Amino acid sequence: MLCALAMMVLALQAPQAGAPPARPNPDVQDAAAAPEPENTPDRRLLSASMLGDLAGVQEALAARANVNAVSDSGTSALGLAALHGHAAIVSALAAAGANVSATDQSGATALMAAASQGHTSVVDALIGRGADPNGTDRSGMTVLMAAASANRLETLKLLLARGANVNTANADGATALTAAAFGGYPAAAAILLASGADPNANDSAGRTPIMAAALSGDAAVAQALLARKANLSAEDVGGSTALTYAAANGHTQFVEFLLKAGLRKNVDAALGYAARGCHTPIVKALMTAGAKTTARVQGAPTIAMAAEGNCEDTVQFLAANGADVNAADDKGMTALMQASAWGYAPLVKILLDKGADMETRNKDGQSAWTLAAMGQHLEVVELFKNARAKK
């Protein structure tokens, strides 16, 4: 949000060999004699505000520094003091007429900076001076979201008590609850839910807080959401659910929580995503809950997805539990072809031992052997030679 104050350095080039001596430049001499930019009252005010030097702030103001001076990133002295939690300086600047609604280049206010860092006393002081607890930056991020996304619990409580709207959404439709859920912060989520946050609010992509929690993998957040009647079966615009998000990201505990809560929607799709990510414990849990090894995701069989991810244990588990090792996707690609194309020699051996057909061809007329040769995967080619020799 804030950049370090830049130091301006005057660099003089040495005269080239053989060139006539450089003549004195009165403009350069005058510039050298002039006060350095860091020495101006405005610069001293910015530096003192950032460092928490109250005496320095008072001296700079006495020297007629602009109380609304900004850094190179557009952050005001008040914003710097707020970001670093210097409550006394915030009060002094506000009393001297600093604009509490000033924004930096991203549109963030001093209040947002203080909230993101959990400087609750600064937040209280700024609101007392007229700062808007519902202010937003250019992306629509609110002060409450800034606090929620950083798990600033006391700041959250204060903002809500001082009038922050719990359900305001940013430009993408996400709320403070979404931010808390995505961060994996159950206490923050509980505070927001107790204050009326909508547990089923969806963003522009249809993602709800339970999906955000699934991405973080925090089952405690999910429990807090479920207690407030969150819809565990909600789908985003692409048809994904919290279960598919959790399965794809390997969050075993979260998947088990959803299954225990009775969720069965999209278990087959979740199985495919878990298989591609090599998340064998989740694959087992989903199959126990009824997911089928014949499941296909976007036209691909589960075992082929596992092979694409080089998931040896998952492939072996699926094959041992009824998955067809020769099942092909919509392009005719089998698990063996996927492993061969990527050069996964140990996995190729496993599949051959499980009865995978190395002569089968995809819709482009390529066999697993052809794909291995095209990729110059010599170890895989050698496996095929040996397998053919044994026939």
224 contacts 192 by C-beta, under 8 angstroms: no
The alpha carbon dihedral of 329, 335, 340, 341 has a sign of positive
Q: For residues 284 and 376, state if they share a domain.
A: yes
The answer to whether residue 31 sits within a structural domain is no
Summarised one tens digit per residue, pLDDT across range 114-156 is: 999 999 999 999 999 999 999 999 999 999 999 999 999 999 9
273 contacts 238 by C-beta, under 8 angstroms: no
Q: For residues 253 and 314, state if they share a domain.
A: no
Summarised one tens digit per residue, pLDDT across range 276-290 is: 999 999 999 999 999
The answer to whether residue 1 sits within a structural domain is no
Q: What's the gap between Cα 331 and its chain centre?
A: 33
Residue where a domain terminates, one of 260, 289, 305: 260
Q: For residues 323 and 391, state if they share a domain.
A: yes
The answer to whether residue 30 sits within a structural domain is no
List % helix, strand, coil for the chain (3-state, nearest 5): 50, 5, 45
Residue where a domain terminates, one of 196, 226, 260: 260
DSSP 131-179: --TT-B-TT--BHHHHHHHTT-HHHHHHHHHTT--TT---TTS--HHHH
The answer to whether residue 15 sits within a structural domain is no
Q: Which two tokens stand for residue 292?
A: 């089928």
pLDDT for 37 equals 58
pLDDT over threshold 80, residue 8: no
Rg (C-alpha) for the chain, rounded Å, is: 31
Q: For residues 68 and 137, state if they share a domain.
A: yes
Calculate mean pLDDT across residues 79-94. Answer: 97
Can you tell me the distance from the alpha carbon of 32 to that of 35, in angstroms, rounded to the nearest whole number?
8
Residue 390 — pLDDT band, cuts 50, 70, 90? confident
Q: Which two tokens stand for residue 303?
A: 């075992």
Q: What's the gap between Cα 57 and its chain centre?
A: 37
Summarised one tens digit per residue, pLDDT across range 332-360 is: 999 999 999 999 999 999 999 999 999 99
188 contacts 224 by C-beta, under 8 angstroms: no
The answer to whether residue 32 sits within a structural domain is no
Locus of tokens 């006495």: 62
Summarised one tens digit per residue, pLDDT across range 173-223 is: 999 999 999 999 999 999 999 999 999 999 999 999 999 999 999 999 999
Can you tell me the distance from the alpha carbon of 251 to that of 282, in angstroms, rounded to the nearest whole number?
8
pLDDT over threshold 60, residue 35: no
Can you tell me the distance from the alpha carbon of 142 to that of 147, in angstroms, rounded to the nearest whole number?
9
**Residue 59: exposed, middle, or buried by beta-carbon count in 10 A (0-12, 13-18, 19+)?**
middle
pLDDT over threshold 70, residue 103: yes
Bridge partner residues of 109 (DSSP): 103
pLDDT over threshold 60, residue 15: no
Q: For residues 308 and 253, state if they share a domain.
A: no
Q: For residues 299 and 358, state if they share a domain.
A: yes
pLDDT over threshold 90, residue 30: no
Residue 38 — pLDDT band, cuts 50, 70, 90? low
pLDDT over threshold 90, residue 320: yes
pLDDT over threshold 60, residue 319: yes
Q: For residues 159 and 57, state if they share a domain.
A: yes
Residue where a domain terminates, one of 260, 279, 308: 260
Q: For residues 211 and 329, state if they share a domain.
A: no
**Which residue, 150, 105, 148, 147, is CA-closest to 126?**
147
pLDDT over threshold 90, residue 85: yes
The answer to whether residue 220 sits within a structural domain is yes
pLDDT for 29 equals 34
Q: For residues 187 and 239, state if they share a domain.
A: yes
How many domains does the chain divide into? 3
Q: Which two tokens stand for residue 154?
A: 């006391």
pLDDT over threshold 70, residue 89: yes
Summarised one tens digit per residue, pLDDT across range 220-262 is: 999 999 999 999 999 999 999 999 999 999 999 999 999 999 9
Q: Where are the beta strands (DSSP E) in the chain?
A: 296-297, 300-301
Q: What is the largest CA-CA distance in the chain?
A: 94
The answer to whether residue 129 sits within a structural domain is yes
The answer to whether residue 201 sits within a structural domain is yes
Across the chain, mean pLDDT equals 90
pLDDT for 3 equals 35
Calculate mean pLDDT across residues 48-53. Answer: 97
**Residue 214: exposed, middle, or buried by beta-carbon count in 10 A (0-12, 13-18, 19+)?**
buried
Q: For residues 89 and 132, state if they share a domain.
A: yes
Q: Which two tokens stand for residue 77?
A: 């002295």
**Which residue, 287, 291, 369, 301, is CA-closest to 331?**
301
Number of other residues whose CB lies within 10 A of the CB of residue 12: 9
Can you tell me the distance from the alpha carbon of 362 to that of 374, in angstroms, rounded to the nearest whole number?
14
Q: Which CATH number fits the domain that encloses residue 336?
A: 1.25.40.20
- Determine what percent of the chain is predicted with pLDDT higher than 90: 87
pLDDT for 39 equals 86
Q: For residues 155 and 255, state if they share a domain.
A: no
What is the reported pTM?
A: 0.84
pLDDT over threshold 70, residue 84: yes
Locus of tokens 């392009």: 331
The alpha carbon dihedral of 13, 16, 17, 20 has a sign of negative
Q: Which two tokens stand for residue 178?
A: 């979404």
Q: For residues 148 and 63, state if they share a domain.
A: yes
pLDDT for 341 equals 97
- Domain membership of residue 205 as a residue range: 167-260
pLDDT over threshold 80, residue 102: yes
